Amino acid sequence: MRTWTLGDRTVNRIGFGAMRLPADRDRAVAVLRRAVELGVNHIDTAAYYPIAAGAWAGTANGLIRQALSPYPDDLVIAVKVAPTSAGLARPDQLRALVEQNLRELGRDQIDLLYLRQHGLDSIAAHLEALARLRDEGLIRHLGLSNIRDVHLDQAAGIAPVVAVQNRYGIDVGRVNDNLLRVCGQRDIAFVPFFALVGESREAGGVASNDAVLALARHRGVTAAQVRLAWILYRGPHVLAIPGTGDPDHLAENLAADDVRLTEDELSRLG
């Protein structure tokens, strides 16, 4: 598998997003364990991903802990904080959110913590609060999510950022092309979300796109594999975090690392 370095941690460029873990608890645990068996060492999660699995109710974090603790030494778990049921957390509320994720995951330190902003003109106060927690050892590396170009510039004077997670994909608009390019210039990972679902967003599935479907049929691969291969071709610093509750789809997604698109095929996909 192709790899990238998040700070001092090396990860395979196709990871796993925990947002779409299934409501069947045993199935969710099995998929997580299978992902690690197949080489996944980068999992993206959040305490605000609630999951009701039969009589069990909790968050994706709890399922990750049940499935994978004690954790493999090379596993990087990335967590997002700031959104709450009452809106975006204030800077003074971030410590409690970080500690919640640590408790749920059963860890002493979060490998990669994203500030997921919404509606902020400046992220300075929030990022400064998280940088203090990093200095205390609760966080290893910091990232930013759902940001604009100006936010990355603001972060430069506060703390190192190793990853940016923003909306990106074949058919969800290319408003983040410049941000992706800048991240590459600064050796910052760019981690797209909604890369498979397009405009469906939280509804899940794989978005329908005529060019994607035609190419998938021609190459004998899945539409998801085409989308993931396209994502990986956007730059060596681009990581994918597809989520699924299906073991077969999991294996197919990871196999996208072997799909090599030609320049003509990339041009047709846009």
Omega before 70 cis (within 30°)? yes
Nearest to 105 by CA among 151, 141, 64: 64
Domain ranges of the chain: 3-269
Structure tokens given for 75: 């596993």
Q: What is the pLDDT of residue 172?
A: 78
What amino acid positions are annotated as catalytic residues?
Answer: 49
What pLDDT is recorded for position 195? 86
Please list the ranges in the chain whose pLDDT falls under 50: none
As given in the structure block, the two tokens for residue 33 are: 């364990």
One-letter amino acid at 141 equals H
List of E strands, 160-264: 161-167, 189-193
Give the pLDDT score at 199: 59
DSSP state of 205: S
Q: Please list the residues that pair with 78 across neighbouring strands.
A: 44, 112
pLDDT at 55: 56
| Architecture label for domain 3-269 | Alpha-Beta Barrel (3.20)
- Give tens-digit pLDDT for 254-270: 999 999 999 999 999 98
State the pairing for strand pair 76-81/110-116.
Answer: parallel
Are the C-beta atoms of 223 and 209 separated by less than 8 Å? yes
Q: Is 38 helix (H, G, I), strand (E, B) or coil?
A: coil
